[in-house]
Chain A
Amino acid sequence: MIKLENVTKIFPGSDIPAVDNLSLDIKEGEVCVLVGPSGCGKTTTMKMINRIYDPTEGRIILGDKDIMDTNIIQLRLNIGYVIQEIGLFPHLSIEDNVATVPRELKWPKEKVKQRVDELLTLVGLEPEIYGKRRPSHLSGGQRQRVGVARAMAADPPVMLMDEPFGAVDPITRNRLQNEFLRLQEQLKKTIVFVTHDIDEAIKMGDKIAAMQEGRLIQYSDPDELLSTPKNEFVANLVGRNRSIKRLHLMHTRDVLNNDVAYVKLKTPLEEIEQKVKDSKLRAVMVLGDDNKLMGIISKEDIKREKGEVAADYYQEILNTCTDDATLNDALSVMLSYGEGFIAVTDGQERFKGIITVGDIFGVVKDDANDN
């Protein structure tokens, strides 16, 4: 989809190339993350794709056309663009911001309005509430969402994203990343994603391009980058404790433990007591209709509450995650609730199993032994 062939960029007034003889082949529907320390040329490389900068040497092919042969305005209208600090227009409402490219493309008014509402809903912002607001009235995370919505407005096949989640706190960033991955699973855009954060790269990328001083050092999928770093630089970039980093790559569904005691809402007290006693967790899960996770009953709950069936005893369970979350996410949920395990559900809140801290350590240990 995007092909860079021996691309070099030397800025005027500089002897050292910002990007040095770089070749890269990005397939359709893939997220390619350019990662490296600041000044490694990752942003410059990205900005050459929509011709914010023109390459000094080499060619960039988008689809099957050299970008230098495409009309520059047409080229840019067909590439979604999210930059650092987002660059929302402060004097325009959220709606008008998102509508920028569709209006440039002269879409009819009705269609623009419809598309804007659709996109705002997609990124989780109620159009009625947020549409008329100014960017300054939104939180950092909300602004990032608008930035992504704006870039997707005309449904471009290609998107360029320069640290799109850079300016928000770690918790919001994590949530935005997960939302973004879920969207990408449906939309299958070809994305060039720039970041200096190797963890983000591993999490977001189908392919990772590690760059240093304008050169491409290694281009491979995240698993390979972690297991066989090409040289000292990449090894340092991904860090020494690589097996821990793989927690970003593995999903909860991969290590799920479904041998867990559970009871139904109508299960009588005696049976609950027995199951709790036998359970390693000293607790049982309570499932409703269609295996929906309702809550949990621990030894203490049995003592404290009174009643006859499970429905009278169970407590809400907070330490849960979905089965497409990464092990890293699961571990941070456990840490934040101070629990040694986490209940895993699918997208419809149906109970899938649990993961304990021990399971996660097991993964890390196996991995360390493998290496």
Chain B
Amino acid sequence: MQMIIKNWFRWLGVPLILILISAAFVIYVVNNPGGAMAARSLTYQNILRYLREHVHLVFVALGLATAVGVPAGILLTRPKLRRIGKVVENIVNVGQTIPSLAILALFYVYLGLGFRTGVFALWLYCILPILRNTYAGIKSIEPGIIEAALGMGMNPVKILTRIELPLSYPVIMAGIRTAVVICVGTATMATFIGAGGLGDLIVTGLSVRRTIIILTGAFLSAMLAIILDYILGQVEQYLTGRDVNS
């Protein structure tokens, strides 16, 4: 019984508390904006819209990044593509050092303003850690294990699904979690190309010099990152744990 309560708390309790803290914060700033200027920006309606836009950006970009990054990482570890793997890994590592703002600016030139450009730039940025971790996770499996599987007559598809993916799964998940945090943070930049999101609050705050508006945007996006990361962490643990007992 105690176990069940503990599990329940771990799954829902912590995110719920974080959400309540965020809600309390929002209620506080909406009721105490400290001036008419801030009060115009800080309405429930505005904040919710920015939050929704932000979550939308992050989910679409991250979903697409996972859908492309994981298979691409797997492909690079296949014997035929192994040679390119090293090159791609290096490009990915360099790519990660390009400032996010630069990437957004770059694609704005080609794709114009708006949500789609934002998603595209975020997707490109998030794909990097996912791809890199998938590649590294599979590469780091001891060759003897793969050889044993091969020698016992497993075909490459089975080796991938039964051996390589389960073994590299924690590393792949870590990549996705890194991507989530980066994505939520970078999504605040999307405001510069008119893709909306919590970045709008921060930019508004900057231009009218109201710290409380900046703080609201920053606080909510940080909370969003923490909550998403936490939930993914729990999912990871749940799946690994189930694997242990099966």
**A78 (CB) vs chain B CBs: closest residue:** B153
Closest 5 A/B residue pairs (Cβ): A87-B148, A76-B153, A81-B151, A77-B153, A87-B144
- Confirm or deny: A317 has a beta carbon within 8 angstroms of a beta carbon on chain B: no
Pairwise interchain contact A91-B167, C-beta atoms closer than 8 A: yes
Q: Are A83 and B144 in contact (CB under 8 A)?
A: yes
Cβ of B153: which chain A residues have Cβ within 8 Å of it? Answer: 73-77, 101, 104
Question: Which residues of chain A from 58 to 89 have any CB-CB distance to chain B below 8 Å in the complex?
Answer: 73-77, 79, 81, 83-89
Contact check, B148 vs A81: say whether CB atoms are below 8 A apart: yes
5 A-B pairs besides A52-B150, A87-B147 with CB distance below 8 A are A86-B148, A87-B148, A88-B148, A89-B167, A100-B149
- From residue B152, how far is it (CB to closest CB) to chain A in Å? 5
Interface code A181-218, partner B: CB below 8 Å = 1, 0 otherwise? 00000000000000000000000000000000000000
Any A CB within 8 A of the CB of B182: no
B window 174-192: CB within 8 A of A: none
Compute how far the CA of A73 lies from the CA of B153 in the bound complex, rounded to whole angstroms. Answer: 5
Residues of chain B touching chain A, judged by Cβ–Cβ distance below 8 Å, are 142, 144-145, 147-155, 158, 163, 166-167, 243-244
B166 and A91 form a contact (CB under 8 A): yes
Q: Is the pair B149, A101 in contact by a Cβ cutoff of 8 Å?
A: no
Candidates A77, A84, A101, A150; contact of B144 at CB < 8 Å? A84
Given contacts A91-B166, A91-B167, A91-B243, A76 and B144 within 8 Å (CB-CB): no
Report the minimum CB–CB distance from A147 to chain B (whole Å): 8
Give chain A's interface residues, CB within 8 Å of chain B. Answer: 50, 52, 73-77, 79, 81, 83-91, 100-101, 104, 134, 150, 160
CA distance A259 to B153 in the complex (A): 55
CB < 8 Å neighbour of A76 from B150, B158, B167: B150
Task: Note all chain A residues with C-beta closer than 8 A to B150.
Answer: 52, 76
Q: Tell me the bound Cα distance from A87 to B149 in angstroms.
A: 8
Q: Which residues of B contact A90 (CB under 8 A)?
A: 145, 167
Contacts of A81 in B (CB 8 A): 148, 151-152
Task: Tell me, in angstroms, the Cα distance from A52 to B146 when the chains sit together.
Answer: 11
Residues of A close to B154: CB separation below 8 A: 100, 104
Cβ 8 A contact of B148, one of A83, A91, A104:
A83
Which residues does chain B contribute within 8 Å of A50, judged by CB atoms? Answer: 151
Q: Would you mind naming 14 contact pairs between A and B with Cβ atoms under 8 Å apart?
A: A52-B151, A73-B155, A75-B153, A76-B151, A76-B152, A77-B153, A81-B148, A85-B144, A86-B144, A87-B145, A87-B149, A89-B149, A91-B163, A104-B153
Choose from A74, A134, A160 the contact partner of B151 (Cβ within 8 Å): A160
Residues of B within 8 A of A75 (CB): 153
User: Which residues of A are found within 8 Å of B244, using beta-carbon distances?
Assistant: 134
Known: A90-B167, A91-B243. A100 touches B152 (CB 8 A): yes
Output the residue of B144, B151, B158, B166 with the most chain A CB within 10 A: B151
B155 engages A83 (CB within 8 Å)? no
**Do B144 and A89 touch across chains, with their CB atoms under 8 A apart?**
no
Give the distance in Å from the alpha carbon of A91 to the alpha carbon of B171 in the complex: 14
Contacts of B152 in A (CB 8 A): 76-77, 81, 100-101, 104, 150
For the complex, what is the distance from the CA of A9 to the CA of B79, rounded to whole Å?
20
Closest to A132 in B: B245
Do A89 and B145 touch (CB < 8 A)? Answer: yes
Cα A277 to Cα B148 in complex, Å, equals 61
CB neighbours of A52 from chain B (8 A): 147, 150-151
State in angstroms the CA–CA spacing of A87 and B163 once bound together.
Answer: 11
Q: How far is the CA of A134 from the CA of B244 in the complex (A)?
A: 9
A330 to B223, CA, bound (A): 71
Distance from B137 Cβ to chain A, minimum over Cβ atoms (Å): 13
Query: In the bound complex, what is the Cα–Cα distance between A84 and B167 (angstroms)?
Result: 20
Distance A75 CA – B154 CA, assembled complex (angstroms):
11
Complex CA–CA separation, A53 to B42 (angstroms): 68
- Say how far A134's CB is from chain B's closest CB, in angstroms: 8
Cα distance, A85 to B151, chains bound together (Å): 14
The chain B residue with its CB closest to the CB of A100 is B152
| Chain A residue nearest in CB terms to B168 | A91
Contacts of A160 in B (CB 8 A): 151
CA of A90 to CA of B146 in the docked complex: distance in angstroms? 11
Cβ of B148: which chain A residues have Cβ within 8 Å of it? 81, 83, 86-89
**Residue contact B151 to A89, C-beta cutoff 8 Å:** no
**Whole-angstrom distance between the alpha carbons of A89 and B141 in the complex?**
10
Chain A residues with Cβ below 8 Å from B147 are: 52, 83, 87
**Distance in Å: Cβ of B118 to nearest Cβ of chain A:** 38
For residue A150, which residue of chain B has the nearest CB?
B152
A156 to chain B, nearest CB (A): 10
A83 near B243 (CB under 8 angstroms)? no
Shortest CB-to-CB span from A328 to chain B, Å, is: 30
Rounded to whole Å, the gap between the CB of B107 and the closest CB of chain A is 40
Complex Cα–Cα for A67 and B142 (A): 27
Residues of B near A74 (CB, < 8 A) are 153
**Chain A minimum-CB-distance residue to B150:** A52
